[in-house]
Amino acid sequence: MAEHIYPLTGRFLQGRLRHAMEERERRLLEDLIERTEVIQGETAILRRGDFCEYSTLLIEGMAIRAICDDEGRRHIVGVQVPGDFVDLHGFALKRLDHDLCVIGRARVGYVPHERLRAVMADEPHLARLFWFSTLLDAAIHREWIMKSTQLRAIGRMAHFFAELWYRLRMVDLGQESSFQTPLTQIHLASICGISTIHVSRTLRDLRDGGVVDFQRGQITISDGDKLKSIARFDPAYLYSEGGLAVENALDIDSPERLSDL
Amino acid sequence: MAEHIYPLTGRFLQGRLRHAMEERERRLLEDLIERTEVIQGETAILRRGDFCEYSTLLIEGMAIRAICDDEGRRHIVGVQVPGDFVDLHGFALKRLDHDLCVIGRARVGYVPHERLRAVMADEPHLARLFWFSTLLDAAIHREWIMKSTQLRAIGRMAHFFAELWYRLRMVDLGQESSFQTPLTQIHLASICGISTIHVSRTLRDLRDGGVVDFQRGQITISDGDKLKSIARFDPAYLYSEGGLAVENALDIDSPERLSDL
DNA sequence: CGACAATTCTATCAAAGGTTAAGTTGATAC
DNA sequence: GTATCAACTTAACCTTTGATAGAATTGTCG
């Protein structure tokens, strides 16, 4: 991977439209990161209502989006993997409606909004890619609505595993048929909208059925086809290369590119 | 309402950051609409995978976002009201992951992407408001994930009614405690992720409990407080004026506004 | 007006999943 | 080592919801 020259931002849009970025743009992106930080444990990096003055790129590890209800219970509404610009939407929204929390051990990079503002004024193509990346989150949200309303517990869990499997491989993490996460069954329960007891039951069913094995965060896909079938999983919504993502107007070789956005 | 001078786009961001737009920007916005069309019945205005060359503003009526599964069943993942720029994200995504359908009788306005591109190049502040408006959809998606995973049938239905009630009043549609929609119980079933039979049962419970009455699309809120309590409804995620929406950097009176993207 | 289709309602039964309670396991602290 | 705590597991019981079938209502069209 030639991407190794960009140790902080090399995974941003990887597997999506990253190839639509010029070297110059990749350098600009890498230089946006003012500093990085390693965060341990279940720690909030941004809380609902906070005023956003920088945005956070997840470099290593995982993060979740969570909404707290009036009784203080935290409900997970999204999961982020390395390369995700987890609160880029804070740039346009100024304040978020939800919390962002790291889980396990993670490394993040901070981009001050002044830098973002400057780069977006000069680089309309990059500005558009930033917009694009926030829309990817929305597409994933829509699929989560779909999975939460149309699938039973086993399908929801299978869908989540399939999504994570695809997303991690998209950024060159995880083996062919296994990967590691800091997720517990308590997280899975919140993600899938079922009780922790039922998570345990459902994981047993998936394990006994030879589909997927979850053991303390270590996920092994035993039968990917069966997994996708149980989940009715179609990865199109992830906008991976060769899928819905369209590069026509964004491709660096395209003549009209510079006039774009 | 002074907004009547903008018959097509007067509801865009109304109740949110519309007041952050200058007269000049409002005029520019109104002029983006190339033509309007009245659409009747359950008609698709954009299908998953279509190449987007214009975006659609909903002027009157309602629309839904729907994902079709492999068996052709349509699942509703979002609902749009007048003032919503329903496929503005098609500008950055080029192709959508879902369908957009009008329900009932609706009037829409079309904005060619060349016009959008031109205006966004010259008007960074408007560009940011466009971005903002696509992020509102994402915030609503997150709340739908929350309601679908954390609430039982009666709570989900109450939540949807509460959301629609707030959103319609935000754009000056609907009375104090009632409004009209082209929705059927079949739509409600898809939106809430329950069977149509259970929709009927749940509506009876809400009616008998003196909370809300749904009769062939006519919705009457009998007890708004009870409704919000059953739904655990907190409207913050709608980013209404006085809520999470921040105008500081966007306000026309603010001196730093012009330097702002 | 009557025929027809779509929508809505009711009743019954079965399945999925929540709740409670009582465990086990594994990691870390002392 | 033992204590402790969080994560996980299992079983019993019960509520919520889905499926099926059938009837009633409403709207549309000739």
Residue-wise pLDDT for A85-113, tens only, equals 999 999 999 999 999 999 999 999 999 99
Q: Is B2 exposed, middle or buried (0-12, 13-18, 19+ CB in 10 A)?
A: exposed
B240-257: b (≥16 Cβ within 10 Å) or e: beebbbbbebbeeeeeeb
Residue B261: how many other CB atoms lie within 10 Å: 18
Question: Where does residue A13 fall: left (phi above 0), alpha (psi -120 to 50 degrees), or beta otherwise?
Answer: left
Q: Is residue A125 within 8 Å of A18, Cβ to Cβ? A: no
Task: Categorize the per-residue pLDDT at A244 as very low, low, confident or very high, splitting at 50, 70 and 90.
Answer: confident
Evaluate if residue A261 carries a pLDDT over 50: no
Task: Categorize the per-residue pLDDT at B242 as very low, low, confident or very high, splitting at 50, 70 and 90.
Answer: confident
Q: Is residue B58 within 8 Å of B84, Cβ to Cβ? A: yes
**A 82-111 residues inside an 8 A Cβ radius of B:** 89, 92-98
Name which of A104-113, B5-14, B238-247 the model is least confident about: B238-247
Q: What is the mean pLDDT of residues B176-197?
A: 95
Q: Is residue B227 within 8 Å of A87, Cβ to Cβ? A: no
Q: Is A173 exposed, middle or buried (0-12, 13-18, 19+ CB in 10 A)?
A: middle
Please report how the helices B185-192 and B196-208 are oriented relative to each other, as an axis angle in degrees rounded to 10. 100
Whole-prediction pTM: 0.93
Residue-wise pLDDT for A132-173, tens only, equals 999 999 999 999 999 999 999 999 999 999 999 999 999 999
Q: What is the mean pLDDT of residues B104-125?
A: 94
Evaluate if residue B253 carries a pLDDT over 60: no
Comparing CA positions, the residue from A34, A48, A53 lying closest to residue A108 is A34
Evaluate if residue A250 carries a pLDDT over 90: no
Which of A80, A116, A123, A131 is the best residue to mutate to test the B interface, defined by the most B CB atoms within 10 Å of its own CB? A131
Structure tokens of B36?
């309007």
Evaluate if residue A69 carries a pLDDT over 90: no
Higher pLDDT, A70 or B255: A70
- The answer to whether B196 contacts chain A (CB < 8 Å) is no
Evaluate if residue B120 carries a pLDDT over 50: yes
Residue of B nearest to A193 (CA): B149
- The answer to whether A135 contacts chain B (CB < 8 Å) is yes
Q: What is the mean pLDDT of residues A23-37?
A: 96
Distance from CA of A85 to the nearest CA of B (A): 14
Contacting residues of A for B260, CB less than 8 Å apart? 117
Residue-wise pLDDT for B63-89, tens only, equals 999 999 888 889 999 999 999 999 999
Contacting residues of A for B148, CB less than 8 Å apart? 145, 148-149, 193
Comparing CA positions, the residue from A13, A241, A139 lying closest to residue B89 is A139
Evaluate if residue A4 carries a pLDDT over 70: no
Q: What is the mean pLDDT of residues A40-51?
A: 93
Which of B95, B132, B146 has its CB closest to that of A244?
B95
- The answer to whether B166 contacts chain A (CB < 8 Å) is no
Task: Categorize the per-residue pLDDT at A259 as very low, low, confident or very high, splitting at 50, 70 and 90.
Answer: very low
- The answer to whether A196 contacts chain B (CB < 8 Å) is no
State the pLDDT at residue B3: 55
* pLDDT over 70 percentage in chain A: 93
Task: Categorize the per-residue pLDDT at A247 as very low, low, confident or very high, splitting at 50, 70 and 90.
Answer: low
Nucleotides of C under 7 A from a protein CB: 6-11, 16-21
Comparing CA positions, the residue from A228, A197, A214, A192 lying closest to residue A77 is A192
Q: What is the mean pLDDT of residues B228-240?
A: 96
